[in-house]
Amino acid sequence: MHIPDGFIDIPTSAAFAAIAAVGVGASLKGAAKSLDEKTAPLAGLTATFIFAVQMINFPVAAGTSGHLFGSVLAAVLVGPYVATLALSVVLLLQALLFADGGLTAAGLNVFNLSLVGVWVGYGVFLLVKKILPKNKPSITTAAAIAAFISVPAAVMGFLLQYAIGANSTFSLTAVFTGMMSTHVLIGIGEAVITAFSVTAVMASRPDLVYGYRGTKAQLEIRKA
């Protein structure tokens, strides 16, 4: 979901760029507190892996494809602050190097994926994790559900931007219906890729997984 230039007018794009900048600024502070010797390389890997996997468009319906957003994958692996930064790096590089996503639209894209996708997704992850039993498979399940929801959540971000400053005049109902019908399917792909990736990291280095930390502490209380 890379918004090109032109969909949303300049004043609205500028306003969202300002909000995105504030969000990224706050995340720099938050990330500095959570990164250490062990998690910094995982954070770099997460950004790089998301860039690579975003190149793989998978078919979702007749004549349509989708690709990973990566918001929840990043949030679960390295925490929401670092995830916001990772997604922003990926989006800005895509816009600057590959002309994927507009330039004036960069703030819109960062808002939708790095802020809405990451933070709504992470919120859902925490909620689901709370309900499920405290074990490793629950982390994957919670990540998959959150990943699925993060896609329509990011679309809602676009809907907000469209409502405020679209350069076209279609009804919000029409935009909502048209966007959601494909993005619910893309959300399923998002959930599958996120589940696979989280499972792989949980199998090799569960100690590095940000979303697993609280769970682990609770399990360690038990003494033999």
Partner 1 sequence: MKNPLVLVGLALSLVIAGGISFYASSQPDGFEKSAGEIGFLDTAEDSPLAGSPLAEYGVAGVENERLSGGLAGVIGVASTAAISFGIFYALRRFNKSKS
Range 54-73, binding partner 1 (CB under 8 A): 55-60, 63-67
The binder of partner 1 chosen from 131, 174, 221, 224 (CB under 8 A): 174
Query: Residue with structure tokens 């900048």?
Result: 21
Q: Which is nearer to partner 1, 131 or 203 (CB)?
A: 203
Question: Shortest distance, CB of residue 168 to partner 1, whole angstroms?
Answer: 4
Is there binding between residue 213 and partner 1 (CB under 8 A)? no
Q: Nearest 5°: phi and psi at 7?
A: -65, -45
What distance in Å separates the CA atoms of residue 47 and residue 72, rounded to the nearest whole number?
Answer: 12
What angle in degrees, to the nearest 10, is found between the helix axes of 71-78 and 118-131?
A: 60
The binder of partner 1 chosen from 133, 168, 220, 224 (CB under 8 A): 168
Is there binding between residue 166 and partner 1 (CB under 8 A)? yes
> Taking the CB of residue 219, how many other CB atoms lie within 10 A of it?
10
End-to-end CA distance of the chain: 50
Is the distance from CB of 91 to CB of 1 less than 8 angstroms? no
Q: Which is nearer to partner 1, 123 or 206 (CB)?
A: 206
- Residues within window 17-36 making contact with partner 1, judged by CB under 8 A: 28, 31-36
- Residues within window 90-109 making contact with partner 1, judged by CB under 8 A: 90, 93-103
